[in-house]
Structures are given as structure tokens and as C-alpha cells.
Amino acid sequence: MEASVAERVKRRRAGTASKLPAELTQARRFDKARLAQSSALLEDYVELIADLLAGAGEARPTDIARRLGVSHATAIKTISRLKRAGMATARPYRGVFLTEKGHALAERVRLRHRVVVDLLRAVGVPAESAEADAEGIEHHVSEATLKAFAHFLKARG
């Protein structure tokens, strides 16, 4: 005799529950994701500031806000966080500049972004989608995964 819908759902749920990772393992994974989300904002800012400085010679809060699609007040608030973290300085009427620490972070983020984009392109993702998707992935991927991506890309030639 065929099981009722309720019985099938109950069995399916029971099967799913048994596949959950251990609590500490799952908690560590979520903690890692939360940490990545909190640092992603600062990473996006330093990367953009470095790009603006290289391209236009200056990184004004107004330009940063427009390019990130945030309000001027939000940009000022995040730039203040960068300054407190020792990654940026600002001069009145001169814009925002990165410290050595900020430049180092911008370079690491840029390299991560490039590896992720190159991997996505290698598996057939269109260029525009790869660039857009990399903006999220680059902040969450571990160093071990990045090394594996780079190894894969190098092996492909």
C-alpha cells in the first residue's frame, strides 16, 4: 500500500535532518560567512578607491558613492571605518587616499577577483556574468579554494 503524503514528507524530512553537519561545523561555516560579509564592504571600498586613484588620480567620496550606488552619507560613514582601521586617510578638498595597509588589501582583493573571474570564464560563464558574480564570490572564497582555482587554471594552460 502506498504511503500517505504526510508519511512521505515526514520520511523526506527525517532523511534531510540526518544529513545536517555537526553543530560546531555548521556554526563555523555560518561564522565564516558573517565575517566575510562584514569585511566585503571594506574590501569593495579599498578596491574602488585604488582603481579611482590609479585611473583618475583622486578618489572623492562623491565618486565613490556614485560608483557603489550608495548615498554620500553612507560613503562617508564607510570611509570613516576605513580610516579607523588604518586603511585610508582623507584630506579636505583632496579626497581619499589608501595607506600601505589599504593598498595591500586592495591588491589582495584584486587578485582574488581576477582568479574567480578567470575560473568562471574557464567553465563557460559569459564575461559580464563572471565579473558580476565574482563581486560576491571573491569575498567568501577561502584561501584553500583560491589556490585550487589557481592550480586548475594553471593546469589548463
CATH code of residue 78: 1.10.10.10
Q: How many domains does the chain have?
A: 1
Asked if the structure places residue 21 within a domain, the reply is no
The cell numbers describing 8, all together, are 512521505
Asked if the structure places residue 126 within a domain, the reply is yes
Asked if the structure places residue 5 within a domain, the reply is no
Residue 98 per-residue DSSP state: E
Higher model confidence: residue 35 or residue 155?
155
Asked if the structure places residue 141 within a domain, the reply is yes
Q: pLDDT band at 122, cuts 50/70/90? A: very high
Can you tell me the distance from the alpha carbon of 83 to that of 29, in angstroms, rounded to the nearest whole number? 29
Residue 6's Cβ-side half-sphere holds a number of Cα atoms within 13 Å equal to 0
Asked if the structure places residue 14 within a domain, the reply is no
Asked if the structure places residue 147 within a domain, the reply is yes
Asked if the structure places residue 11 within a domain, the reply is no
Q: pLDDT band at 31, cuts 50/70/90? A: confident
List of residues 6+ apart from 35 with CB closer than 8 A: none
Residue 24 has what pLDDT?
Answer: 83
Contact indicator for 43, 105 with CB cutoff of 8 Å: yes
Q: What is the domain extent for residue 73?
A: 27-156
| pLDDT tops 70 at residue 12 | no
The cell numbers describing 20, all together, are 545536517
Contact indicator for 66, 46 with CB cutoff of 8 Å: no
Contact indicator for 68, 48 with CB cutoff of 8 Å: yes
Can you tell me the distance from the alpha carbon of 38 to that of 55, in angstroms, rounded to the nearest whole number? 27
**85 class by beta-carbon count within 10 Å (0-12 exposed, 13-18 middle, 19+ buried):** middle
pTM for this predicted structure: 0.75
